[in-house]
């Protein structure tokens, strides 16, 4: 394993799809990974920022307190610049969809599986994703001629150990109420003594993160296409009262035709006022999230601003190896735009990365995201109905192909520690 800077990773951008698996990015450092390196470990590091799963230890909590104490001048300047209390009120005139566009368009066709599901009813294939307490595998339902599925395996012991029970419950409850062209489809859930399982729509195109690593960055047409699909999905979530809270390239998958699906709803939450949990990936966190002032739907629009910047440049605008340095950069809000950015692109990003959530694009007084000149000429109805041809068409043999994912070890069967107490099993009674 060799540590390199972002510029050196950028020099390796002309690689084949098969070579993508050799490059992984952690939350703090860039790595070029050789074939002997454990990609599952590296992926876990990438998906766990210091505060990615909340405050994990007393040391983390102390670091946050020290940072808030030592960054007093910056924070004072931040509050003075808002000139209003930090209230993230939702209003009836907030727009969740473009004008004259309905959500009654192609949706995920839910599949009915047999009652009393078990892993023996599936042929379980390669691992396509992994984290600290979950693994995602390709799965084929044995009893019917159904399309491929993604089986998300969540280890009960680790869920309890990392205090993620509520997040797991939220993910299941929220996913089963959603149905949108650009959000992963929920099929079913079940459990055994060791694991909880979510059966989801499988997307063979892989993570958007892989395509950014492959091409280095996207041109304006590619970026506009995909950010339009993202804002349609985010707008829909907000119309359902859901804040996503973990938007990043790793949580955007491509289907066989190159259209997106938002995945990983572990941090998603139904919020009608404000919530205070510190969670997410540090380079994508809105200021109101890491300052613990309470946040709402506006925090997702900040993450959209980070995402479009990363699409167009290959890296987030407030990048730092230490999360607290990234927070300071976000508060200072100095965005460096490349010379080839046009005015509407810069204005769009500035609007989304406005520190005051009420004045942020998509916020209470920040204007309508869908009507911004950045999207001038875009046919929202055709976009939502998937009538527009996607600019990135995944190379796949068939819908069961896993070649666009990293080569993770197949480890889910190694989860062997069960929870024996009745009280602990009750945590998962509604699965």
Residues 192 and 224 in one domain: no
Structure confidence at residue 382 (pLDDT): 95
Higher pLDDT residue, 104 or 401?
Answer: 401
89 phi and psi angles, rounded to 5 deg: -75, 135
Residue 287 has pLDDT above 80, yes or no: yes
Q: Which two three-digit tokens encode residue 88?
A: 């993230």
Higher pLDDT residue, 344 or 52?
Answer: 344
pLDDT in tens, 330-382: 999 999 999 999 999 999 999 999 999 999 999 887 789 999 999 999 999 99
Domain for residue 222, yes or no?
Answer: yes
Confidence of residue 60 (pLDDT cuts 50, 70, 90): low
pLDDT in tens, 141-158: 998 789 999 999 999 999
**In terms of residue numbers, what domain contains 288?**
66-102+207-384
| Spatial contact of 157 and 417, defined as CB atoms under 8 Å apart | yes
Enumerate residues 6+ apart whose C-beta is below 8 A from 299.
Answer: 243, 245, 285, 286, 288, 289, 357
Residue 46 has pLDDT above 50, yes or no: no
Structure confidence at residue 66 (pLDDT): 67
Residues 223 and 268 in one domain: yes
Q: Which two three-digit tokens encode residue 332?
A: 């200072």
Residues 311 and 335 in one domain: yes
Higher pLDDT residue, 303 or 107?
Answer: 303
Residues 243 and 347 in one domain: yes
Structure confidence at residue 272 (pLDDT): 86
For the ranges 190-194, 230-234, 400-404, the lowest mean pLDDT is seen at 190-194
- Full 3-state SS string of the chain: CEEECHHHHHHCCCCCHHHHHHEEECCCCEEECCCCCCHHHHHHHHHCCCCECECCCHHHHHHHHHHHHHCHHHHHHHHHHHCCCCCCCCCCCCCCCCCCCCCCCCCCCCCCCCCCCCHHHEEEEEEEEECCCEEEEEEEECCCCCCCEEEEEEEHHHHHHCCCHHHHHHHHHHHCCCCCCCECCEEEEEECCCEEEEEEECCCCCEHHHHHHHHCCCCHHHHHHHHHHHHHHHHHHHHCCEECCCCCHHHEEECCCCCEEECCCCCCEECCCCECCCCCCHHHCCHHHHCCCCECCHHHHHHHHHHHHHHHHCCCCCCCCCHHHHHHHHHHCCCCCCCCCCHHHHHHHHHHCCCCCCCCCCCCCCCCHHHCHHHCCCCHHHHHCCCCCCCCCCCCCCCCCCCCCCCCCCCHHHCCCCCCCHHHHHCCCCC
In the Cβ-directed half-sphere of 393, how many Cα atoms lie within 13 Å?
A: 6
Residue 42 has pLDDT above 50, yes or no: no
Q: Which of 33, 392, 13, 25 is nearest to 216 (CA)?
A: 13
Question: For residue 379, what is the domain's CATH number?
Answer: 1.10.510.10
Residue 167 has pLDDT above 60, yes or no: yes
| Spatial distance between the Cα atoms of 102 and 181, rounded to a whole number of angstroms | 12
Tell me the β-bridge partners of 254: 260
Tell me the β-bridge partners of 139: 124, 149
Residues 371 and 255 in one domain: yes
Residues 180 and 292 in one domain: no
Residues 231 and 132 in one domain: no
Confidence of residue 418 (pLDDT cuts 50, 70, 90): confident
Structure confidence at residue 17 (pLDDT): 32
The answer to whether residue 123 is catalytic is no
Structure confidence at residue 39 (pLDDT): 34
Structure confidence at residue 64 (pLDDT): 63
| Spatial distance between the Cα atoms of 251 and 260, rounded to a whole number of angstroms | 10
Enumerate residues 6+ apart whose C-beta is below 8 A from 90.
Answer: 272, 296, 297, 364
With pLDDT > 90 as the criterion, what percentage of the chain qualifies?
60
pLDDT in tens, 206-233: 999 999 999 999 999 999 999 999 999 9
Structure confidence at residue 111 (pLDDT): 82
| Max CA separation in the chain (angstroms) | 63
Residue 82 has pLDDT above 80, yes or no: no
Number of structural domains, the chain? 3
Confidence of residue 69 (pLDDT cuts 50, 70, 90): low
Structure confidence at residue 28 (pLDDT): 27
pLDDT in tens, 96-120: 777 767 655 556 667 889 889 999 9
Among 188, 246, 255, 300, the one annotated catalytic: 246
Residues annotated in a binding site: 152
| Spatial distance between the Cα atoms of 64 and 281, rounded to a whole number of angstroms | 15
Residues 337 and 269 in one domain: yes
Question: Checking phi first, is residue 260 left (phi over 0); if not, alpha (psi -120 to 50) or beta?
Answer: beta
Domain for residue 107, yes or no?
Answer: no
Residue 411 has pLDDT above 70, yes or no: yes
Domain for residue 351, yes or no?
Answer: yes
In the predicted model, what is the mean pLDDT of residues 306-333? 94
Residue 244 has pLDDT above 80, yes or no: yes
Structure confidence at residue 98 (pLDDT): 79
Domain for residue 284, yes or no?
Answer: yes
Residues annotated in a binding site for ATP: 152
In the predicted model, what is the mean pLDDT of residues 20-31? 28
Structure confidence at residue 227 (pLDDT): 99
Question: Checking phi first, is residue 367 left (phi over 0); if not, alpha (psi -120 to 50) or beta?
Answer: left
Confidence of residue 190 (pLDDT cuts 50, 70, 90): very high
Structure confidence at residue 54 (pLDDT): 44
Higher pLDDT residue, 18 or 430?
Answer: 430
Domain for residue 416, yes or no?
Answer: yes
Confidence of residue 62 (pLDDT cuts 50, 70, 90): low
Structure confidence at residue 180 (pLDDT): 94
Domain for residue 392, yes or no?
Answer: no
Average pLDDT of every residue of the chain = 81
Residues 342 and 419 in one domain: no
Structure confidence at residue 320 (pLDDT): 87
Residues 282 and 138 in one domain: no
Domain for residue 108, yes or no?
Answer: no
Residues 357 and 415 in one domain: no
| Spatial distance between the Cα atoms of 213 and 230, rounded to a whole number of angstroms | 19
Placement of tokens 């799965």 in the chain: 139
Domain for residue 404, yes or no?
Answer: yes
| Spatial distance between the Cα atoms of 119 and 52, rounded to a whole number of angstroms | 29
Residues 227 and 164 in one domain: no
In the predicted model, what is the mean pLDDT of residues 34-40? 33
């Amino acid at each position: 394993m060799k540590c390199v800077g972002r510029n050196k990773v950028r020099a390796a951008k002309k690689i084949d799809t098969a070579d993508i698996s050799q490059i992984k990015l952690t939350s703090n450092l860039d790595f070029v990974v050789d074939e002997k390196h454990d990609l599952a470990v590296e992926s876990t590091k990438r998906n766990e920022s210091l505060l990615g799963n909340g405050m994990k230890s007393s040391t983390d909590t102390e670091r946050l307190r020290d940072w808030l104490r030592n960054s007093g001048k910056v924070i004072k300047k931040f509050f003075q610049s808002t000139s209003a209390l930090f209230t993230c009120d939702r209003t009836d005139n907030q727009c969740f969809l473009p004008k004259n566009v309905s959500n009654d368009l192609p949706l995920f066709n839910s599949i009915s599986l047999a009652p009393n599901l078990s892993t023996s009813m599936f042929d379980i294939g390669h691992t396509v994703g992994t984290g600290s307490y979950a693994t995602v595998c390709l799965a084929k339902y044995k009893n019917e001629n159904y399309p491929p599925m993604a089986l998300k395996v969540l280890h009960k012991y680790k869920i309890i150990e990392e205090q993620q029970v509520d997040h797991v419950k939220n993910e299941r409850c929220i996913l089963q109420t959603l149905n949108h062209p650009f959000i992963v489809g929920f099929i079913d859930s079940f459990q055994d003594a060791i694991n909880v399982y979510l059966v989801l729509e499988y997307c063979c195109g892989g993570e958007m993160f892989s395509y950014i690593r492959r091409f280095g960055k996207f041109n304006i047409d590619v970026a506009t296409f995909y950010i339009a699909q993202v804002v349609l999905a985010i707008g829909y979530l907000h119309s359902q009262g859901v804040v996503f809270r973990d938007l990043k390239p790793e949580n955007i998958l491509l289907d066989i035709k190159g259209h997106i699906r938002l995945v990983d709803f572990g941090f998603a939450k139904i919020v009608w006022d404000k919530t205070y949990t510190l969670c997410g990936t540090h380079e994508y966190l809105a200021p109101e999230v890491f300052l613990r002032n309470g946040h709402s739907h506006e925090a997702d629009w900040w993450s959209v601003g980070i995402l479009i910047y990363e699409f167009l440049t290959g890296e987030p605008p407030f990048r730092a190896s230490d999360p607290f340095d990234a927070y300071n950069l976000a508060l200072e809000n100095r965005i460096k735009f490349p010379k080839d950015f046009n005015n509407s692109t810069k204005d769009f990003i500035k609007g989304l990365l406005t520190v005051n959530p009420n004045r942020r694009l998509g916020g209470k007084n920040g204007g309508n995201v869908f009507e911004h000149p950045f999207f001038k000429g875009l046919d929202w109805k055709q976009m939502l109905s998937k009538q527009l041809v996607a600019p990135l068409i995944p190379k796949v043999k068939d819908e069961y192909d896993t070649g666009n994912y990293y080569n993770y070890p197949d480890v889910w069967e190694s989860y062997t520690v069960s929870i024996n107490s009745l009280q602990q099993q009750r945590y998962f009674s509604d699965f």
